Every structure is written in C-alpha cells, then in structure tokens.
Chain A
Amino acid sequence: MKKYNDHSYMDSVHRSGRIWGIAIGAVLLLFPTLLSLIFGTLPNFEVLIKGVVATAPMYWAVGIVEIFTYVPMLGAGGTYLSFITGNISNIKLPCAIDAMERAGVKASDEEGEVISTIAIAVSSIVTTLIIVAGVICIVPLTPLLESPVLEPAFDMILPALFGGLAVVFVSKNVKLSIAPIILMLILFIFVPALDSSTVGIMVPVGVLFTILVARILYKKGVL
C-alpha cells in the first residue's frame, strides 16, 4: 500500500468524524431549544438546575475519563461512532474486540481500525433499528419486556457478556491477566462503595494497572 494512501485514509476518518460529531452534537443541543419554540415555554429552571447539579459533575468526570480510556481501544472510526451512539462498554467495545479477535487483526494496525469500525457501525445500525422496531411495536412488546420472568435475564447482561469475553482474552494472555483480575476481585469484594454505578470509574484503574504490569513483564522479557 502506498504511503500517501495510508495517511489519507486516517486523515479522512478524522476529518469526517469531526464534521459528523459536531453536526450531530449541534442537533442534539438544538433539540430542547426547538421544544421550547414549539410549545412556547422556557424550561423550568428550578428542575433544570437541580437536575444538572445532581447529574452533570459526576457524569462529566466519568465522561472525560472514558474518552481517554476508550478512544485508544475503539480506534478512530469506532470512536466517532461510539461516542454518538453510546452503550460503549456493554455493546460497542465488546463487539469490536470480538470482531478483531476473530478476524485475527491487531487493534494497533490499520486492519484492526477497519474491522473495528465495521463491527461498531453494524452494531450501531442494528441497535438503532431494533429500538425503532421496538418503539413501533411498543404496545404488544411492553408485557414481554416488563415480564418479571425475563427481568433477571436483562439485569444480568454484563456478567453474561464479560464471562464469555474473559475466557477468550484470559486464555490468550494468562500471565498478564493474573495480577489485574486479583486486584479487581479484592477491590470489588472488600470496598463496599464499588458497585454497578462505580464500575465505570474502575475501568481506567484496571486499564492503567494492567498497562503497568504489562510494561514490567515486557521489560523482564516474560511477555
């Protein structure tokens, strides 16, 4: 592949990613403004301020940490898509990791970038279409989605997802896996504050710790 081409592909991904991101971001911020025009009323500022104070500080902190954690794993195209369509840790990233693993490509190569982008784009399209179909059929679907029988299945999606994913990755990186898994087990079992709402904060901790362990093992020639 010509060098010129390599540069132009990544550059064009960044260029179009920025344009799409800024455009969709502007549209999303326009949405509540448009509602005000249509219904002829300003937002209730008491609710607005209380709600933002209760929500934004924590989620902005988590959001900023997530950018630095997930952007290197998602690749460029995957990042521009995932940060628009959301559900990164529970859908997009596992989907991309699995796709790269099966295609036998590395996240650090352009082949990885391309496969990850394809997987995340398909996953985004399918999620969006399923939600569209669900919204259209919401009346017949509601009893099914709310059925107490199925509730535990929907609640347990993360353990069901990461159990399978862990087998694939741990079995291929046994030496590197031991320390981070032990650390996370100890932290989550013995620190009561760590639960479903704080797992987002622990992901970067796990990532940084694993990189540190990897660096030490690599320098010692174990990996």
Chain B
Amino acid sequence: MNFSVNSPILFVIVGAVIVLVLAQSVFFLLRAMRRAKELGIKTGTVKKTIVSAAIFTVAPAFAVLVGVVALSKSLGIALPWLRLSVIGSITYETVAAGNALEAAGTGAGTTITDPSVYIAIAWVMTVGIAAGLVLVPFVTKKLQSGLAKVGLKDKKWSDILSNAMFLGMISAFLGYVFCDVGLIVKGDASGLIPVCVMIVSALAMAICGTLATKAKIRWLTDYALPISLVVGMASAIPFTALLGG
C-alpha cells in the first residue's frame, strides 16, 4: 500500500486502539460506581466527582491537543493522536519524536515520506515509554498490598503517609516553578512568569475557598481547582507580555 502520514488505514487502526482504551476506562468507571453504592457512598458525592473531574480535565486536555498539532507537521495526525491518547505525555512524546526525527536527519517541520522511517519512529515512541506498560500489570498488586498492610497496622500513620506522598509531589512541582528565577541576575525576568502564574492560581484557589465557606457558596468548592487552573493559565498571557517569554 502506498504510504502517507495521513493514510486512511492509519486512522482506522488508531481509532480501533482508542476504542479499546475507552472501553477500559468505561469498564473501571462502572465497576467503581457499583462498588461506591455497596460501600454506601452517597450518589451526590459520586455525581459531583464525575462532573468536576470532567470539567477539570478540559483545559489540560486542550494542552495535549496542542502537542498533537505540533507533532502532526512531521508525523501526520494519526501517530501523534495515538501516542498522546495512550500513555503519552506531551513532554515525553515531543522529546521522543524529536530524537527519532534527528536520527532520521529530518527536522520537526518536514513531513516524513519514507514508511520505514515512519515505522522506526513509531517504534521509538512506543518502546521508550513502555516501562510502565510492561511492569504495572506485574508489580501493582504487590505494591498496593504492602501499603494496605501499613494501614492495618497503624491507621493514623497510613493516613499521614498518603498525605506526605501528595505533599512530596506538590513540593517538587513548586520547586520546579522557581527553576528559572536565577536568570534574573542576567537581566532575564522570564523566569518569574511561572512564579507569578502560580501565585495567581493560588490566590484564585484561596478566594474560591473563602467564598465557599464564608459566603456559603457550596458549589464553588467543586470547581475551585478548574477555576484556579484556568485563571492561572489566562494570567500567563499578560505576564509573558510583561516579563518576556
């Protein structure tokens, strides 16, 4: 068959894989909802969880779409669509595709015309990220039951432990926000952009929290995270204009 990066057959195959991945999510969703009922979790709580998870996801999903568009110039739409819907993260796929394109001696702007290069790139993007894919089915149960044992032994410590893990992750990303502030000694203020964005987002969250409790606008708590996310992202536009990107 003649090759093109946007060959219809590619879309058919990728579409089928995406349907399979969607089926997995639906399967686990229904399973968990049934279990929630058995555990006596209120229907309202489950509904709120579903609605706010959906709303929260919209803005970051558009950022993923930006990655598809960026990669589509050299790889067509089908392969980036697959890679970014399954396991891929924007940071990884861009680097992996970049490495593979460099090995092929083409830049990010040139469309691949040689099927053997295209297939090699597909392999690189798949194999590079496969650690989780290969290992998760075999190690998850062991890791989870180890944690469950801690919970049985000391309930209070097990709660503190999970909080500590979340905080550890959050603190790493807070540190990352500050990674370029040092550039200011060289007269480059662009490192302050992420710091300002983070502060705006934090303020938005604090305001949502205060309004929700003090003014009793209860529904606000369900949307506080998506609101602070979008407000923070929007603030990046004037901050970048002001501080230089």
- Tell me which residues across on chain B come within 8 A of A162, comparing CB atoms: 170, 173-174, 177, 198, 201
How many residue pairs at the A-B interface have CB separations less than 8 Å?
Answer: 563
Chain B interface bracket (under 10, 10 to 19, 20 to 34, 35 or more): 35 or more
User: How far is B228's CA from A161's CA once the two chains are assembled, in angstroms?
Assistant: 7
Answer yes or no: B1 CB below 8 A from chain A CBs: yes
Within 8 A of A (CB), among B51-104: 52-54, 56-66, 68-70, 72, 77, 81-82, 84-92, 95-96, 99-100, 102-104
B32 to nearest A CB, angstroms? 4
Q: Is the CB of B115 within 8 A of A118?
A: no
- Contact of B53 (CB < 8 Å), options: A71, A111, A118: A118
User: Which of under 10, 10 to 19, 20 to 34, or 35 or more describes the interface residues of A?
Assistant: 35 or more
The answer on a CB contact under 8 Å between A41 and B119 is: yes
**Residue pair B164, A55 in contact (C-beta under 8 Å):** no
Tell me how far the C-beta of B79 lies from the nearest C-beta in chain A, rounded to whole angstroms.
Answer: 9
Cβ contact of B124, chosen from A48, A134, A194, cutoff 8 A: A48
For A156, give its contact among B58, B104, B232 (CB under 8 Å). B232
* A196 → B minimal CB distance (Å): 7
Which residues of B are found within 8 Å of A165, using beta-carbon distances?
A: 170, 205, 225
Q: Does B116 contact A (CB under 8 A)?
A: yes
Complex interface residues of chain B between 37 and 56 (CB less than 8 A to chain A): 38-39, 41, 45-46, 48-50, 52-54, 56
Check A195/B171 contact, CB under 8 A, given A98-B52, A121-B28, A163-B201. no
Task: List A contacts of B160 (CB < 8 A).
Answer: 176, 214, 218, 223
- B201 to A184, Cβ gap below 8 A? no
Interface string of A185-204 (1 = CB under 8 A from B): 10111101011110100110
**A185 pairs with B168, CB closer than 8 A:** no
